Structure 1
Amino acid sequence: MPTDSGTNASRQGGWTADRMAAQEGRTFVVTGATSGLGLVTARELAAHGGRVLLAVRDAARGEAVASTLRRTYPGADVEVRRVDLLDVDSIRRAAAEIGEEESVDVLVNNAGISMVEHSVTAQGAERHLAANHLGHFALTALLEPVLRRSPAPRVVSVTSYLHEKGELDLDDVAWSRKYTPLAAYSASKLANAVFGAELARRERSSPSPITSVLAHPGYSNTPMQSKGDGLMGIAMRVSGRLFAQSPEMGALPQLFAATEPGLAGGSYVGPDGRGGRSGHPVTVRLSAVARDPELGRRLWERSQQLTGVRWGDA
């Protein structure tokens, strides 16, 4: 994965969370913040003084994480907001609650599921696509007003290097034909990347633009690796333990994407190691398919149809 001409932190020895600027006075929303990359992201943002809203499906687990963070970092400003990304009504309730904030500076769309057996939501979408993309699409649209109240709002879409192998069939979002967990997961990660790029394009003409930045964690050993179904899930668990980098390293690209000053809309951050699988965060070039404006337009329209949420609804 070639390095872009943008910010290349490895030239200064490799960016780590220790190099993150203080985040006092900034509010972050992190989805999926009870484990894995989301937990590390929330922890580092809180440790650096940011106000962190843990947007999580399991409120009890969220409160446990918040309590731990407050004990570990006295004075940490951490709160829980419950949201089920498979339930549009839950997303609307969470967005209304978060919308009472003075502003939200950064939304980190991190939550996701991986390698599950085939199932379809009430809206007719396959579950990977629904949880990983459609829920975040709706949440981002509904948080638009509170984001625009920030002087420099940013949305981070967390994708995967596997998006380059994904194929989006917007006429068969239920995956009613041949289904494999890996193909469906890769397609959902392509949707994340296409959405991030399309949001960046649309915001370039906005008088108060939201900076849309993309990030991927490389190959990281997270709890999501242990939740896959069937033989693929077993293979992922074994491979993750043997070959993947730690969640602390895997979270660095999205932390960089969320906090590094000067990143342009459409920037894509990933590890600097061989094949983008591990290493320190740098800006890299997004795949051509993810940058396709026609695919971006079609995904945007289809996402609005499936969620019932249109940009500007809130």
Structure 2
Amino acid sequence: MSDNWTDTRIPDQSGRVAIVTGANTGLGFETARMLAERGATVVMAVRNIEKGKQAAARITGDVTVQALDLSSRDSIQSAATDLRALHPRIDLLINNAGVMYPPRQTTADGFELQFGTNHLGHFALTGLLLDRLLPVPGSRVVTVSSVGHRILADIHFDDLQWKHSYRRVAAYGQSKLANLMFTYALQRRLAPHDTTIAVAAHPGVSDTELVRNMPAALRGLFSVVAPLLTQKAEMGALPTLRAATDPAVVGGQYYGPRGLGEVRGYPKLVTSSTRSHDEAIQQRLWSVSEELTGVTFP
């Protein structure tokens, strides 16, 4: 068998329920599509219901659409209530949705948009659904991070919401570093249960709609180098799919492309920054996240 892990290696997913956030486009769409094609019951949790329905119509399999705006605590609570009512068991929660490099904006609850959506939104959603995963052997929480977790990245506890000096690249790095810290801290809490694991993945540099918020100068440069440095969304989704379905995956692992600089290529086990493994910062971030979201994990 080739060392290249492709979608043909995804085991049969019949009987499994998978929730994929941000599934109407890009990486999330490809993740949802491939899981559905392998037999999973897939819930596409999306902000725009109409776009979600259009995307679902392009997928062969058991697919439904759920309204979810990760920048709103009310929407997260409402979505979790719906999902809990419809799905007594959940096998896969794939925290994929994200925003990258927008001008400074705030969520409905006053959080900086990238930190609020990419980290706090998924933190809250996971906490509200976790008791549906815990009884299910082989269940997984997969959170999508980024190579950006290394770029200008730290958890700025003195100004988490970037009220004093907003730098969009650094703010994105903070949110993606938080995704990894959340995964590692969650795995420590899950380990005694021996049923559910937490895993992280990143897509390398994939050609998706996320780049639409790049500063104009960077967007121009990106358009020139994109053919050389990026990969299609189908490839970018493979690390997430491997983290979600490969029987050999262990809790607390991190998957990304195997090419130079982890920019592109087939998925493999990769390492994250030293900073991401700082347990004291992880615990402080966890406590702050519970306080800000009002969600306490079971």
Q: Same fold (TM over 0.5)?
A: yes
Which of 33, 40, 45 is matched with 2:23 structurally?
A: 33
- Which secondary structure state, in structure 2, belongs to the residue aligned with residue 290 of structure 1? helix
- Aligned partner (choices 52, 62, 73) of residue 62 of structure 1: 52
- 8 Å contact from structure 2 (residues 229, 263) kept in 1: no
* One-letter amino acid matched to 1:68: R
Inter-CA distance 226–119: structure 2 relative to 1 (3 Å threshold): closer
Matched, 1:197 2:184: yes
Q: State the shift of 1:286 in Å.
A: 2.4
Give the count of matched residue pairs.
Answer: 296
Counterpart AA for 1:224: L
The 2-side partners of 1:237 and 1:224 are apart by 13
- Equivalences for 1:63-142 in 2 at 5 Å? 63-69=53-59, 73=60, 76-100=61-85, 101-142=87-128
Structure 2: runs of 5 or more not aligned: none
Root mean square deviation, CA, Å: 1.6
Amino acid at match of 1:92: Q
> Within 2, Cα distance between the matches of 1:310 and 1:240?
41
Aligned to 1:49: 39
Q: Which amino acid aligns with 1:138?
A: A
Distance 1:305 1:232 in 2: 36
The corresponding residue for 1:210 is 196
For 1:238 and 1:178, the matched residues in 2 are separated by 30
**Stretches of structure 1 lacking an aligned partner (at least 5 in a row):** 1-10
Determine the C-alpha separation between the residues in 1 that align with 2:111 and 2:79. Answer: 21
More divergent stretch after superposition (145-154 vs 255-264):
145-154
Trace 1:246-261 onto structure 2 (pairs within 5 A): 246-261=232-247
Partner of 2:89, secondary structure, is coil
Distance in 1 (CA, whole Å) between partners of 2:215 and 2:294 is 30
Report the Cα distance in structure 2 between the residues aligned to 1:284 and 1:203, rounded to whole angstroms: 21
Correspondence for 1:290: 276
TM-score (norm 2): 0.94
Residues 132-141 or 223-232, more deviating: 223-232
* Aligned twin of 1:303: 289
Moved more, 115-124 or 52-61: 115-124
Q: Is the 8 A contact 2:22 2:44 kept in 1?
A: yes
Task: Give 1:177 shift.
Answer: 2.6
- The residue aligned with 1:281 is 267
Cα distance 1:92–1:276, how it changes in 2: closer, same or farther (>3 A)? same
Distance apart, 1:104 and its partner CA: 0.6
Give the Å deviation of 1:232. 3.9
Q: What is the TM-score when the length of structure 1 is the normalising length?
A: 0.90
Q: Using the TM superposition, name which of 41-50 and 114-123 deviates more.
A: 114-123
Structure 2 partner of 1:147: 133
Contact 1:226–1:236 at 8 Å: present in 2 too? no
User: Following the alignment from structure 2 to structure 1, what is the Cα–Cα distance between the partners of residues 222 and 179?
Assistant: 21
